[in-house]
């Protein structure tokens, strides 16, 4: 759909403000148009009158001057205020509404979008593109109309003074517009290229800001700077090209607009010589032709602004129309509490629609049980969690919770039942308290502290400079990996969901803290289903059932003891880890460790 049509509803909501601004503009622009007519009166009547006495002329002159000053003060100046105030207010409201919608869309988009696009590019939609629409709105809702009306008015008055001269002036203006219109197409295409590239540039810069420490560690600053230079040079070439196209358009149009008053006055002089036009009329005519220059220039200036704005509008509305693959049903059911089981029923999934990451995967998780997924890196364990939380939807098969396809439930109710802790937990740059209370912003202080105690986070939080009020920095940079993990755990404990997903949730903790946290999870597990992913198999030995994942399928499952007895892939992994542990302690060889494990 044409972006302007999608944009009109936003503008429609600010109709009243625009009308007020428009009315202000009309007065502000039309009042000065009376000046040449007053000048004509002065020249043709007042100054040349042979019947009026000097003092009458002086009286009239002062009266006219007084009236003009009064009109300009009492009407033009306030109308300028009205125009600026209401137009800007309407624009600001639309900008706010667009930004709200862009942000809401960020929440509505699924994980795939964020995997495929850089956050800096989305930032460009939110900041730059939306801001570009401001100039566009002023142009299309005010300037273009007002200037056109002013031009029509001026043309009308000029026509009443001398139709032939008016036709000449209109012809010259029409040539200017045709030229400007022709050149505007090039402006638009260079603008589109430039703005497209700007989002690439900002994606690059955002990413490098986030990875600034990494660049330092790998000494890639020089390479980054060279890359940035290449981006900037390319961007500069594009902006130069855009500026050049615009400059050509302005130069051509201004040259014509500069010469127009002279050509018209020269032609008008012929009429004066023949006595077919009064000198006052010629002067007034000259003043009007001169007045045409401002609206013509404004309209020509509006062309790149409109071009830029419409490209920005297109990109904002394209973003808002990005299809979302994880959708809710029209009338979704609510999952109040996970009261029974979770079933993966022959699930197949691929991230890119081509290469399958999970194949025909089936398993059952009963309420209250603790389950673990282990196996080779890249085997598909985290993907299972992505599907449980509906960050992605399955390609084939079903995921059932309490006997119902999870696609039947509202996303909010489904996710309200799930708490997740991963290796890399995202913390917002706010206080420890706010980060823990994310799921329950109105939680009482004692509940927050209780959750932190359960996650063994309370002691270290107390030692922070402002305790629970300490700001954790962007993404929690001011905390250690283990501290972040404990805060993420406290967040889940406070939320008290019925399904807890732990993806390497204790990997950043030392052995002692890990044991404490594990015992904490043990304590709260009653009535909850726990799904854990771990590489360190020692952390999952107590799970009710362990699923061994390899190349997107479950190759073995059972309790720790059952799996060891199978002497299959799990046994192999466990043996390797144990022997590595023993070797690290300088005790025994790998073979010996394997023997020990075999012997039980
Ligand atoms: N967002 C994504 N887009 C495309 N491919 C992905 C995405 N996330 C993961 N993959 C791919 O899917 C496969 C399974 O990844 P997954 O993260 O589920 O493995 P994992 O078993 O959890 O691995 P690890 O133990 O290393 O965390 C991998 O080949 C990975 O490259």
| Residues 489 and 421 sit within 8 Å (Cβ to Cβ) | yes
Helix (H) or strand (E) segment spanning residue 374: strand 370-375
Smallest CA-to-CA distance from 520 within 561, 468, 566, 485 is with 485
Report the nearest-CA residue for atom 5 of ligand 1: 351
Report the nearest-CA residue for atom 31 of ligand 1: 378
Tell which one of 110, 351, 547 to mutate to probe ligand 1, the residue whose CB is within 8 A of the most ligand atoms.
351
Using a 6 Å cutoff on CB, does residue 357 contact ligand 1? yes
Q: How far is residue 78's CA from residue 501's CA, in Å, rounded to a whole number?
A: 63
* Cβ-based neighbour number of residue 550 at 10 Å: 14
Using a 6 Å cutoff on CB, does residue 353 contact ligand 1? no
CA angle 439, 445, 451 (to 5 degrees): 60
* Cβ-based neighbour number of residue 186 at 10 Å: 17
Placement of tokens 């008053």 in the chain: 261
**HEC states along 242-258?**
HHHHHHHHHHHHHHHHH
Predicted local confidence at residue 599, as pLDDT:
43
How many residues comprise the chain? 600
Tokens of 363: 């398993």
Q: What is the distance of C-alpha 300 from the center of its chain?
A: 31
CA of 552 to the centre of ligand 1 (A): 10
Instruction: Give the atom of ligand 1 at the shortest distance from the alpha carbon of 504.
Output: 27
Interhelix angle 144-161/163-210, nearest 10 degrees: 170
Instruction: Read off the pTM.
Output: 0.74
| Residues 456 and 516 sit within 8 Å (Cβ to Cβ) | yes
Q: How far is residue 123's CA from residue 106's CA, in Å, rounded to a whole number?
A: 10
Q: How far is residue 432's CA from residue 437's CA, in Å, rounded to a whole number?
A: 9
Using a 6 Å cutoff on CB, does residue 351 contact ligand 1? yes
Using a 6 Å cutoff on CB, does residue 377 contact ligand 1? yes
Tell which one of 380, 501, 504, 569 to mutate to probe ligand 1, the residue whose CB is within 8 A of the most ligand atoms.
380
Predicted local confidence at residue 580, as pLDDT:
60
Instruction: Give the atom of ligand 1 at the shortest distance from the alpha carbon of 379.
Output: 21
CA of 496 to the centre of ligand 1 (A): 28
Report the nearest-CA residue for atom 6 of ligand 1: 351
Using a 6 Å cutoff on CB, does residue 380 contact ligand 1? yes
Smallest CA-to-CA distance from 577 within 531, 538, 528 is with 538
CA of 232 to the centre of ligand 1 (A): 34
ipTM computed for the complex: 0.96
Report the nearest-CA residue for atom 9 of ligand 1: 383
Q: How far is residue 484's CA from residue 509's CA, in Å, rounded to a whole number?
A: 10
Report the nearest-CA residue for atom 2 of ligand 1: 351
Q: How far is residue 560's CA from residue 277's CA, in Å, rounded to a whole number?
A: 108
CA of 381 to the centre of ligand 1 (A): 8
- The parts of the chain modelled with pLDDT lower than 70 are 1, 508-509, 579-600
CA of 106 to the centre of ligand 1 (A): 23
Using left for φ > 0, alpha for ψ between -120 and 50, and beta otherwise, residue 531 falls in beta
Predicted local confidence at residue 600, as pLDDT:
40
Report the nearest-CA residue for atom 25 of ligand 1: 377
Tokens of 331: 């009338």
Using a 6 Å cutoff on CB, does residue 124 contact ligand 1? no
* Cβ-based neighbour number of residue 559 at 10 Å: 14
**How is 268-326 classified by DSSP, letter by letter?**
HHHHHHTTSS-HHHHHHHHHHHHHHHHHHHHHHHHHHHHHHHHHHHHHHHHHHT---SS
């Amino acid at each position: 759909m044409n972006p302007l049509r999608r944009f009109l509803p936003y503008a429609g909501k600010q109709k009243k403000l625009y009308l007020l601004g428009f009315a202000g503009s009309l007065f502000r622009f039309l009042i000065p148009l009376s000046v040449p007519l007053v000048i004509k009166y002065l020249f043709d009547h007042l100054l040349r009158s042979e019947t009026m006495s000097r003092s009458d002329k002086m009286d009239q002159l002062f009266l006219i001057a007084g009236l003009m000053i009064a009109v300009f003060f009492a009407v033009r100046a306030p109308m300028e205020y009205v125009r600026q105030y209401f137009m800007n207010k309407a624009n600001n409201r639309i900008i706010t509404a667009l930004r709200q919608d862009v942000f809401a869309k960020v929440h509505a988009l699924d994980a795939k979008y964020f995997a495929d696009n850089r956050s800096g590019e989305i930032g460009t939609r939110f900041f730059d593109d939306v801001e570009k629409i401001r100039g566009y709105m002023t142009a299309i809702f005010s300037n273009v109309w007002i200037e056109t009306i002013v031009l029509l008015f001026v043309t009308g008055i000029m026509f009443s003074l001398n139709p032939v001269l008016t036709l000449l002036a209109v012809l010259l203006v029409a040539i200017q517009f045709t030229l400007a219109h022709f050149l505007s197409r090039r402006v638009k295409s260079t603008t589109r290229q430039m703005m497209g590239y700007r989002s690439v540039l900002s994606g690059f810069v955002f990413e490098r800001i986030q990875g600034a420490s990494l660049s330092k560690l790998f000494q890639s600053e020089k390479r980054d700077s060279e890359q940035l230079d290449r981006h900037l040079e390319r961007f500069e070439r594009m902006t130069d090209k855009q500026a050049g196209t615009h400059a050509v358009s302005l130069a051509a149009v201004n040259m014509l607009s500069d010469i127009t008053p002279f050509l018209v006055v020269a032609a008008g002089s012929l009429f004066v010589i023949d006595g077919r036009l009064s000198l006052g009329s010629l002067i007034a005519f000259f003043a009007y032709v001169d007045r045409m220059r401002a609206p013509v220039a404004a309209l020509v200036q509006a062309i790149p602004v409109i071009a830029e704005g419409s490209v920005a509008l297109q990109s904002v509305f394209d973003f808002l129309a990005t299809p979302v693959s994880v959708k809710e049903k029209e009338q979704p059911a609510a999952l109040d509490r996970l009261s029974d089981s979770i079933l993966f029923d022959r699930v197949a999934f691929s991230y890119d629609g081509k290469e399958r990451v999970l194949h025909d995967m089936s398993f059952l998780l009963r309420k209250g049980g603790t389950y673990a997924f282990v196996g080779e890196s890249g085997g598909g364990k985290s993907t299972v969690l992505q599907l449980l939380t509906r960050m992605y939807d399955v390609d084939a098969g079903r995921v059932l919770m309490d006997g119902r396809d999870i696609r039947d439930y509202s996303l909010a109710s489904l996710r309200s039942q799930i708490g997740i802790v991963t290796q890399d937990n995202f913390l917002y740059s706010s206080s420890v308290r706010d980060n823990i209370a994310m799921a329950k912003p109105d939680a009482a202080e004692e509940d927050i502290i209780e959750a932190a105690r359960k996650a063994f986070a309370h002691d270290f939080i107390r030692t922070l400079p402002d305790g629970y009020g300490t700001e954790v920095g962007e993404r929690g940079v001011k905390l250690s990996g283990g501290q972040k993990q404990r805060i993420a755990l406290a967040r889940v404990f406070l939320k008290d969901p019925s399904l807890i997903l732990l993806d390497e949730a204790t990997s950043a903790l030392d052995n002692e803290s890990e044991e404490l946290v594990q015992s904490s999870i043990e304590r709260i597990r009653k009535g909850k289903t726990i799904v854990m992913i771990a590489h360190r198999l020692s952390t999952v030995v107590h799970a009710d059932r362990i699923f061994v994942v390899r190349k997107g399928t479950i190759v073995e499952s059972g309790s720790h003891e059952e799996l060891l007895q199978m002497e299959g892939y799990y046994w192999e992994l466990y043996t390797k880890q144990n022997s590595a542990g023993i070797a690290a302690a300088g005790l025994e060889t790998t073979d010996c460790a394997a023997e020990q494990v075999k012997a039980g």
